[in-house]
Structure 1
Amino acid sequence: MAGELVLVTGGTGLIGIKIIQLALKAGYSVRAAVRSQEKANGVLATPTVKALNPGSRLTFIIVPDILADNAYDEAVKGVKFIIHTASPVIKGEGFTPDQWETHLIAPALKGTTSILDAAYKTSGIERIVITSSEVAIIPWEEFIAKEVDTVFDDQYQIPFPAGPYSHVFEAYSASKVRALIATKEFVKEKKPEWDVINIMPSFVVGDNEMITDPNLVADGTVGAAMAQVLGGDSGWGAVPSTSVHVADVARLHVEALNPKIEGNQSFLAVSEGERGTRWEEAIDIVNRNYPQAVKKGVLPNNGTASTKRTKVDASRTEQVFGFKFQGYEEQVKSVVDQYLGLVGEQAA
């Protein structure tokens, strides 16, 4: 492990920055593909990376357009492993319906096939770990549109939903399905010297050291938990009852590099078992753990959230990797601790 070089794409995102930090802690050398030097400086400025003082074990390669032809050809040279997390995500107002295909589905597919093509053209690579999603194997209508009794596990498969799509999240789901199918087809047809592991997170919640503005703490999937704590509403309506701590997702990616984990398979990352997450319970979690911050109004803790039951079984992941996912309470606390730190309040 010592010194083995890992290429990490999407390293400035919620999951990616944690992967870089954990990979360095585990003894790997990391080459992070970033869009600009400014992004690289942001990674270097995170408290965890500064404390690790990685020196030459952390390097960067600028890939300004990950959708350009041959975008990753230089980035993959000399690496032993690739962790590919770069993919479009839904933020803020998201995209308009006419952008769903061009801004979500096509980029997710092109980004994935681009990294696979680049790896195929070089030698010495042993494994690629890809950030997929639970929505790559759970039908949209059963994931968010209606409640069913099906218990979904990592052996579940669905065809690519061709559309038209009724919601931006449905299009996002389609992007993950298409990328997963393309990956499996690539491995089957090309038979590369490396194998692939897909990590399939649910709604990822946790602290993000790339964020230094407290107003952005509830960005993305973190908002499903934190919007209510800050007195608002995620705007998503009833959210499926599946969440996972960002630290656990990053841990899976790094530990998946271990050759003892058999390749060419997928692993779900979902906490709380079949009961799942109850998003509205964040209010009680915060009241119990941060009474002074609530009393002072630093944490309004009076917003709204609702949960849509979705049963997902990720127990095989816990068995294979040998650890139990942190629950919703730890997920919420990690974000609240960060928020309080950013606004200069004690976490009490």
Structure 2
Amino acid sequence: MPALTSGLILVTGASGFIGTHTVSALLDAGFSVRVTARSKPKAEHVRELFPGNEDHITYSIVPEISEKNAWDEAVKGVDGVIHLASPVTLAHTGDPDEIIRPAVDGVVHLLESLQKYNPSVKRVVQISSSAAVGGVDRPDVYAFTEKDWNDAIVAVVEKEGAAASGGAKYSASKTLSEKAFWKFIADNKPTWDGVSINPVFNFGPATQFAHADAGALTSSLVLLTPYLNPGAPQQLLETPYGSLVDVRDVAFASVKALTTQEAADERYLLSADKIWGNDIALAVETVIQEPGYLKANADPEYRATLATKKSYFDGSKVEKAFGFTYRKKDDTLRESVEAIQNAKKSKL
């Protein structure tokens, strides 16, 4: 199926951190967008974020993504899909199926609705996660690529059940939902193409803040919380957070996945650089410049030494495929902190 150059794109889960940036990138590229959200206020909020584009943004309300016919109306008439909607929590303490089933069923039922009501759709982009690729808790230093799958975490969750960590359950949900995506394509051989985007931790300026407190810091931005208050302990500097990517690069790559012919049936891991607590502390120090905050170590040699200590995700394939260069992590983290601080000031 040819790649898209124009048309109407369905963006599921559009009210979130990645979703709002993806809508912005699609509008910039000349597409019209149909967003889905769990409620009308959330959908209206997405439209309000883009004044002047009201004629190019419509919406469909999908209260429960795991219901079998939930997507039937949303998929009608669209030319492409970017699927983001999925449970996002690292603090779940109950049955893993409460996280895994909605993630898997949400994908499968979406694809079933497309087959039934819009089989002529051209391309479906599944926004998965590096959590479906692997984890950084390996004993050796390993470079994860698109060839890797996080089957180990699925086995852990199957064994431990409710006792498994929230992070493990989330990773299992991303692994199993992406596998369901590719299995559906293999089994049904649709006329449309599939692409998966697997980003690591997303940082960057948030466009969708409703509040400026910690409760508003959904997604990866919540990792910044300990550093945004005075008195953070020194040992946080050597806390590893895996890898990071700018949310704007994820949005850009998601659009390129629609418009690049060669992206069909490919899997793309998005990862710009490794990230440590020291990197976050440096960003906070640059923006806030007040006494009492954690003092970072800006020595290049120290930062380079940290970077050799843990496994990482190799995100070079997508740069070559889509012809772009990742934003630098120091810029991404600084702009993340600036956005949070500006949101706080606006609420005063």
Bin for the TM-score computed over the shorter chain: 0.7 to 0.9
- SS class of match (2:140): coil
Where do residues 166-205 of structure 1 align in structure 2 (5 Å cutoff)? 166-205=164-203
RMSD: 2.5
Distance (Å, rounded) in 1 between the aligned partners of 2:295 and 2:110 = 41
- SS class of match (1:277): strand
Is the 2:131–2:150 contact (alpha carbons within 8 Å) kept by the matching residues of 1?
Answer: no
Cα distance 1:164–1:303, how it changes in 2: closer, same or farther (>3 A)?
farther
Distance (Å, rounded) in 1 between the aligned partners of 2:34 and 2:252 = 18
Deviation at 1:270, TM superposition (A): 0.5
Deviation at 1:226, TM superposition (A): 4.4
Deviation at 1:319, TM superposition (A): 0.8
- Larger helix percent: 2
Partner of 1:327: 328
Report the number of matched residues: 322
Where do residues 1-348 of structure 1 align in structure 2 (5 Å cutoff)? 4-46=7-49, 49-50=50-51, 53-90=52-89, 94-96=91-93, 98-102=94-98, 104-121=99-116, 122-138=118-134, 143-159=135-151, 161-162=154-155, 163-165=158-160, 166-216=164-214, 218-231=217-230, 238-272=239-273, 276-287=274-285, 289-290=286-287, 293-295=288-290, 301-302=293-294, 309-344=310-345
Is the 2:22–2:252 contact (alpha carbons within 8 Å) kept by the matching residues of 1?
Answer: yes
Q: Deviations over 1:208-241 (max 9, x none)?
A: 22113211454331122343133458x9x94442
Deviation at 1:56, TM superposition (A): 1.8
- SS class of match (2:196): strand
Distance (Å, rounded) in 2 between the aligned partners of 1:266 and 1:280 = 31
Normalising by structure 1, report the TM-score.
0.85
Cα distance 1:269–1:230, how it changes in 2: closer, same or farther (>3 A)?
farther
Gaps of 5+ in 2: 297-305
Q: Percent identity?
A: 27
Normalising by structure 2, report the TM-score.
0.85
Is the 1:67–1:111 contact (alpha carbons within 8 Å) kept by the matching residues of 2?
Answer: yes
Deviation at 1:158, TM superposition (A): 4.7
Gaps of 5+ in 1: none
Amino acid at match of 1:335: S
Cα distance 1:269–1:174, how it changes in 2: closer, same or farther (>3 A)?
same
Is the 1:268–1:317 contact (alpha carbons within 8 Å) kept by the matching residues of 2?
Answer: yes
